[in-house]
Amino acid sequence: MTGIDRAMLLEQARLDRQAIPQFDPGIDIDEAYRVQTRLVEQRLAGGDRVIGMKMGFTSRAKMVQMGVSDMIWGRLTRDMQVDDGDRVDVSRFIHPRAEPEIAFLLRKPLAGRVTAIEALDAVAAVAPAIEIIDSRFRSFRFSLTDVVADNCSSAAFVIGPWAPPSIDLSNLGMIFSVDGRPSHCASSAALLGHPARSLVAAARLVESHGALGGELAAGSVVLAGAATAAVALVPGQDISLEVERLGMVSFSVG
Ligand code: 0L1
Ligand code: MG
């Protein structure tokens, strides 16, 4: 099966809301990112636009939940964004889950090998965020290369109020709640010890893969990755994340 075949299968699975089996034989990581590029190109051909990047498996909790051990990255597009406080109709997904994150908004381009201080200097604002993931693979079972090809399970994301980048992100409490009751609690330090490290990795990866024009452009959004395991979504839930000093982001599940 060619990379284009794989990208078309994944896109069809999303459109039909029908999970597919894992790829057999597997593919290597470079081919997996090429499949991801082809996958997202199909959406861009339909008028969608890349607005940023998501990092994945940047916390131990997520690596353990999904049984993988490497960081991955995917593309965020405009059509994936849901407004803070909105109702999300989950019938458009296969088996959606939500996870608590921190988002960065860039004020200037970022690429290559940068320090955490340089990465933070490129940040215009930070916000609490929730990512909705929806693996196109059956039962959320995948290899690292499968999930990369599948745009890292990304399905939608919600960003809360933007806060100044001067806030110290090193150890902020994060309370992820379902129906107002805490489901998972974490510190922002769960993200590689400091969320800025996820941005550093994003800058390096985007350049080394020659993706997104080889840089994170000014105005890009970067999701730093989930700080805890993800929560399965069912209609009727209210999902919220409160991040100390950054505030709250939420959506309801329809
Ligand atoms: O933020 C994350 O670590 C999510 C990675 C997405 C892959 C998945 O769990 O399906
Ligand atoms: Mg995520």
Rounded to an integer, the average pLDDT of 194-214 is 95
Structure tokens at 34: 């090429």
Structurally, the chain folds into a number of domains equal to 1
Query: Which atom from ligand 1 is nearest to the alpha carbon of 72?
Result: 5
pLDDT tens profile 96-137: 999 999 999 999 999 999 999 999 999 999 999 999 999 999
Rounded to an integer, the average pLDDT of 134-162 is 97
Q: Residue 90: is its pLDDT beyond 80? A: yes
CA nearest ligand 1 atom 10, residue? 153
Q: Is the CB of 152 under 6 A from ligand 1?
A: yes
Rounded to an integer, the average pLDDT of 214-236 is 97
- Taking the C-alpha atoms of residue 79 and residue 76, their distance in angstroms, rounded to an integer, is 9
Q: Which domain, by its residues, includes 76?
A: 3-253
CA angle 234, 184, 182 (to 5 degrees): 75
Rounded to an integer, the average pLDDT of 233-240 is 98
Q: Residue 210: is its pLDDT beyond 80? A: yes
Distance 143 CA to ligand 2 centre (A): 16
Q: Residue 45: is its pLDDT beyond 80? A: yes
pLDDT value at residue 24: 85
Phi/psi for 67 (5° steps) reads: 70, 35
**Ion ligand 2 residue ranges (Cβ < 5 Å):** 99, 131, 226
Cα Rg of the chain, angstroms: 17
Q: Residue 69: is its pLDDT beyond 80? A: no
Structure tokens at 185: 């609690």
Q: Is the CB of 90 under 6 A from ligand 1?
A: no
Q: Residue 70: is its pLDDT beyond 90? A: no
Average pLDDT, the chain: 96
pLDDT value at residue 233: 98
Q: Is the CB of 99 under 6 A from ligand 1?
A: yes
User: How many CB atoms are closer than 10 A to CB 194?
Assistant: 18
Q: Is the CB of 149 under 6 A from ligand 1?
A: no
Query: For the domain that residue 196 is a member of, what is the CATH number?
Result: 3.90.850.10
pLDDT value at residue 175: 98
Q: Residue 68: is its pLDDT beyond 90? A: no
CB 190 within 8 A of CB 93: no
- Taking the C-alpha atoms of residue 118 and residue 166, their distance in angstroms, rounded to an integer, is 13
